[in-house]
A and B are shown apart, each in its own frame.
Chain A
Amino acid sequence: MTWYSLLFGADGWGSLLLAGTVTTVLLAVITVPFGFGGGLLLAVLKLAPSRPLRILCDAYTTFFRGIPDLLALFIVYFGMQALVDKLGHLLGLEARLELNAFAAGVIALSVVVAAYSSEVWIASLNAIPSGQGEAARALGLDRKQVFFLVTLPQLGRVALPGLGNIWAVLMKDTSLISTLAVTDLLRAASEASKATTRPLVFYSAAAGLYLVFSIASNIFQGYLERRANRGYA
């Protein structure tokens, strides 16, 4: 069979790849609020005066940035599964509770992305002149208001390039989830190539689709950065 009919033919594998593509995009997009939000929380805690908290958060970041992403995913995934098993045991359930693989994937990716993005958030928080907070305090805003009304709105512009980098990494990291039990783009390509023994066709197609995403995100990121920087020299 030609590569064209393999992909787009009546009983081709295009639809499976498409479904995998949707899963990959969903994995990445759903991870963003949790991962980036968790990273911001980590960053704020690390800059907080509490020493034990700071040490704990630093340890978290060092650990998850220092080990392979794949290992981190395995640890979170199997660790959660073990926890769920224990929980089921405690509740005296007969049947084994199965973790939803997609949800577990999102949690595992979020854990890693939070560690990566916390460094970007810290650098951005430090980049905002302290005079901003002092001025806001002098105007009578309380600390919460200073953070949400003064610091946070300015943070996006500074953090955008760094977060864009992490988004690019995240998109590629979703492919690691294929080694667990989620049929994302890469796993769809694997299944198709096993069934047809034509791996070159399907892995090339998958690579092409990943490439489209990364180029599209680069363009979109450039647009966002230009937009965020309008009004700045």
Chain B
Amino acid sequence: MGQTLQAFAGFLVNYDLLATWGWRLWAGLQITLEVVALSCAIGFVLAYPICLARMSRNLVLSNLALAYITFFRGTPLLCQLYLFYYGAGEVRPFLTDIGLWWFFREAFYCCILAFSLNTAAYQAEIMRGALASVARGQTEAARSLGLSPYRTARHVIWPQAFLVALRPFGNELIGMIKASALAAIVTLLDLFGQTRFVFARTFDFSIYLYCALIYLAMTEGIRRLWNWMERGLSKHLVRGTRGGALAAGRAGPVPSTDAALEGGAVPTMSRVR
């Protein structure tokens, strides 16, 4: 009995494989987390000006932002990554001259650059949708009460837009975790890169499954965390009895950014998930 159980456990978890190579997965996970955290943060900072440019009445600005968003959302991230990583090699003398070669030489920095610019385009559209979902009368009312434009944004618009943007931001974070696996293609030893390395040495297919479980734990964890946050933050929107928000479920009482942008110039293409 004990032996059968042990054999079964051995079938589920290959201790030897993990004991020998587990540290590589751990090292890779750290790189993945670094890449995702940095790109999402930089992307967030870049996204706000892009979103403002997109909504601006200045046609040049708004069309430039539209071109940026269309390019980064309309082409594969892998293609963008190649463009930066391999493209930089072609203009190496120029990059050396302006003292930027050290940056483009590293796969790590190229990944951060490509991922940040890419997620900035998605996040800008999320912000635009969220801001558009706040009724115009809110701005007008706040302004007529004498609030300055900044205070209107800070105390009236942003808090309402934030709630709408929360779920799409969570989806974008999950999307970036998944997209970060592309870094392995340009030689970065992130979680997926290390997994490929171990597979090349051992030809043990189960290493891919362990890798999948780690990704799954991250994405599923974030999804649950976001559900919990949204429930907590949207309590005031639910009329009726206790547990209303729970009953309302995933769709919840929060309007979606897609709905807010309906009829806009660009059909929204939020990352699936």
Q: Which A residues contact B (CB, under 8 angstroms)? A: 62-63, 65-72, 74-75, 78-79, 82, 116, 161, 164-166, 168-169, 172-176, 178-179, 186, 189-190, 193, 197-200, 203-204, 206-207, 210-211, 214-215, 218, 221-222
Contacts and interface: CB of A to CB of B under 8 A. Distances in A.
B55 to A, nearest CB: 20
Contacts of B74: 210-211, 214-215
Given A75-B208, A82-B205, A210 B75 contact: yes
| A interface secondary structure, majority | helix
B75 A70 contact: no
Interface string B9-27: 0000000000000000000
Contacts of A66: 215-216, 219-220
B205 A190 contact: no
B273 interface: yes
Nearest to A203: B83
B79 A199 contact: no
Given A68-B192, A69-B178, A168 B79 contact: no
B70 A168 contact: no
Contact of B205 (A78, A169, A210): A78
Given A70-B181, A169-B271, A207 B70 contact: no
Contact of B78 (A176, A193, A215): A176
A68 B178 contact: yes
Interface stretch (B46-54, B57-65, B87-95, B102-110): B87-95
Interface in B253-267: 258, 266-267
Given A66-B219, A70-B181, A168 B269 contact: yes
B83 A207 contact: yes
Given A68-B192, A75-B212, A200 B83 contact: yes
A175 B79 contact: yes
A172 B80 CA distance: 11
